[in-house]
Structure 1
């Protein structure tokens, strides 16, 4: 059964209000009314906008919320590529983000249409909790990430607050998965990534990991 959230993502009208209305409210919800998630989000956007000649992949990019930030500092042959399963979201992304360094592709996060070791930065932000069978998506992130490259995930976290009566039921009804605080970190560890860092903000988590350089695989 398709979740309510996934059905909404396919709706062209919803894709128009997602970035300006729904997503900011939802992001504040991860901080339980505080500003921690919003503060981290601003820091992340500034980090993504730093100068550099790199290839960036934004998985489940939606209407391109981070495309302007990630493309802003790109130099040389640097490019941002957004991939999403929703045609409605991609149509909105293409309309709102028309620059030479930005492109969007429709595809499945479980089977990315890119070769191994293709991107220096691989993002999955505010999306993994909506994707059915989400953990193999992390495998794909690592596969397409270049040796020495980074992966950044923002998703849900089942903290003590998320265990409050009714929280799990609400999450299940909306189609939002609550990950345990170890689930994402452990998967990245199993994939032999390094320098894994996790920041918990309310019922959200940011996880950063790096793919070892080729010489470290041996």
Structure 2
């Protein structure tokens, strides 16, 4: 089987600037991040502890210490990791934990691609979550380096609330998914708890965003996706949608 990086290179619509770290880098050298959350994500130390310490605690916080968010996460991940000859894109993949899982059931020419802007996160992904059907790209989620209708499954899980312009990213998810394909998002949602006075100031300073109940679903619908389903667990929302099989390229 051809190496994942070679197969991913064939899908890119922009040139690769560097591949020496084991992932395909299509961006200029990293610039200083403009928010606290983005600076943290680019910190090599945080990349080291993300899966073992930060992510389990953070997932619990979504359901205020309960297990509902973790249960829904496992259910969605199992679905997205199902068997099949599919191309899967994991947007804002971090250290590649989901990316590797999505590859578990792939068959034939199936391929799981992780995209992230953080070099430390991608270095961790290459080290810990590589595989025969898994590879990584350092790219911009606001302008994904792939053609329209490229992937059968496109996911952005536990990341959209940290991205500078999240609605542009939602549009990109819809653009690169193939007709008949699926989009999956896990992110924050505004509730009585997360709407408390003063929290908006903290969100602005940190770069952490809490979405209104209909912001993500409405944006997916505006992008032309159908069969939109939303499941709210605690302070988080899982949203799935599909691109109509009759959709044509832009």
TM interval, shorter chain, is: over 0.9
1:205 equivalent in alignment to 2:243: no
Q: TM-score with structure 1 length normalisation?
A: 0.95
2:108 to 72, 76, 83: 76
Gaps of 5+ in 1: none
Question: Alpha-carbon deviations, 1:181-208, whole Å to 9, x = none?
Answer: 0000000111121000001111111110
User: What is the root-mean-square deviation of aligned Cα atoms in Å?
Assistant: 1.5
What is the alpha-carbon distance in structure 1 between the residues aligned to residue 152 and residue 59 of structure 2?
A: 26
Per-residue CA deviations over 1:126-163 (Å, capped at 9, x if unaligned) read 11110011101111111100000000000110111111
Is residue 2:161 matched to residue 1:129? yes
Matched pairs, number = 217
Equivalent of residue 164 in structure 1, options 196, 218, 227:
196
Q: Is the 8 A contact 2:42 2:118 kept in 1?
A: yes
2:176 is the counterpart of 1:153:
no
Query: Which ranges of structure 2 fall in alignment gaps of 5 or more residues?
Result: 1-32
Q: Within the alignment, does 1:57 sit opposite 2:89 as a pair?
A: yes
Q: Which stretch of structure 1 is more off in the superposition, 45-54 or 199-208? A: 45-54
TM-score when normalising by structure 2:
0.83
**3-state SS in 2 of match to 1:178:** coil
2: distance between equivalents of 1:181 and 1:108?
26
Task: Specify the alignment match of 2:18 in structure 1.
Answer: none
Shift of 1:87: 0.6
CA contact (8 A) 2:80 2:153 kept: no
Distance change >3 Å, CA 171–CA 55, structure 1 → 2: same
Partners of 2:116 and 2:228 in 1: CA distance: 25
> C-alpha displacement at 1:54, in angstroms?
0.2
Contact 1:161 1:202 in 2 (8 A): no
- Structure 1 outlier segments of 4+, above 2 Å: 164-174, 214-217
72-81 or 40-49: bigger deviation: 40-49
What is the rounded CA distance, in whole Å, between the counterparts of 2:223 and 2:147 in structure 1?
Answer: 18
Q: 2:150 aligns with which of 118, 127, 130?
A: 118
For residues 171 and 26 of structure 1, the distance between their equivalents in structure 2, rounded to whole angstroms, comes to 16
More deviation, 94-103/160-169 = 160-169
Return 36-45 or 143-152, whichever deviates more.
36-45
